[in-house]
Amino acid sequence: MYIGQVSKDILKWPRPHSPPVVKLEVKADAEYGMPSTHAMAATAISFTFFIVTVNQYKYPFELGLIAAFVFSTLVGLSRIYTGMHTVLDVIGGTLISAVLLALSYPAWDLIDHFLLTSPFCPIFSIAVPLLLCYNYPKLDYYSPTRGDTTTILGAGAGAIIGFWLTNQYAPLNSSSETFQLSFPPISSKRLMVMLARFLVGVFVLLITRQFIRRLALSMLYYWYKVSTSDEEARKRLEIEVPYKFITYSSVGFCATMIVPVLHGLLELI
């Protein structure tokens, strides 16, 4: 995502003009268009999921490949439909993700082992994203791309640290056996447990986001002697990057560490 967001601000290709395009979404209109980061994310997520699970679970190879292709295609088409991207933007985003997947694939196991077992993982997970965010390309005018990038990298950093801690205190049993993908019988009790898990998780994440966000902004406003009513101050580099990173790294950590522990304590398993 960082590569995609930075590429937008380096290439500076405009989004489709309106008219003739009818834009159904205007929130991200201040950003540039090439490449489509939605297409990048959809391609990366769907095909990564397919690649890492095809040998772990018994499901038809063709079915997984079709599912990944359909998902990424639908996301790309949705960006064209909403008027946010051209066909070239979507193709560019898809190709960038495909190249990155191909180049990084040989190192996946090494990266996975490092992020789960290395004592340097927490430091690496915080230092590298922060370094990238603080050195984000400068624009002539404010664009939400830096803030969005910080949000994504922050959430990822928090999630990685949560997985790392979970692995330290509750290591998974590794096995070379192929698992049989099966679905448990659906019952009213199971549905209630699923709903309770969902509601508990969403509640904790929303509370965490609101509390940490306000706390981080208050501390930064006090440190830089900025009025709390100054909404424009949030766009400044020294405030936007730390407050978004702290907020969403906390959310990511809660999602992968705190919420599962809470589910266990409440016996929502």
Locate all alpha helices (DSSP H) within the chain, ordered by sequence.
2-11, 37-53, 61-81, 87-104, 108-117, 121-134, 145-169, 188-223, 237-253, 259-265
Distance CA 26, CA 29 (A): 5
Active-site pick, 17, 38, 113, 263:
38
Nearest CA to 148 out of 254, 27, 230 is that of 27
Nearest CA to 162 out of 126, 108, 199 is that of 126
Which residue has tokens 């990511």?
252
Distance CA 25, CA 22 (A): 9
44: three-class secondary structure by DSSP: helix
Which residue has tokens 């056996």?
177
Distance CA 58, CA 182 (A): 9
184: three-class secondary structure by DSSP: coil
Angle, in degrees to the nearest 10, between helices 37-53 and 2-11: 150
113 annotated active-site: no
Contact 252, 156 (CB under 8 A): yes
Q: Under 8 Å CB-to-CB from 252, ≥6 apart: which residues?
A: 154, 155, 156, 157, 158, 159, 160, 161, 162
User: What are the backbone angles phi and psi of residue 228, rounded to the nearest 5°?
Assistant: -65, -15
Catalytic residues: 38, 85
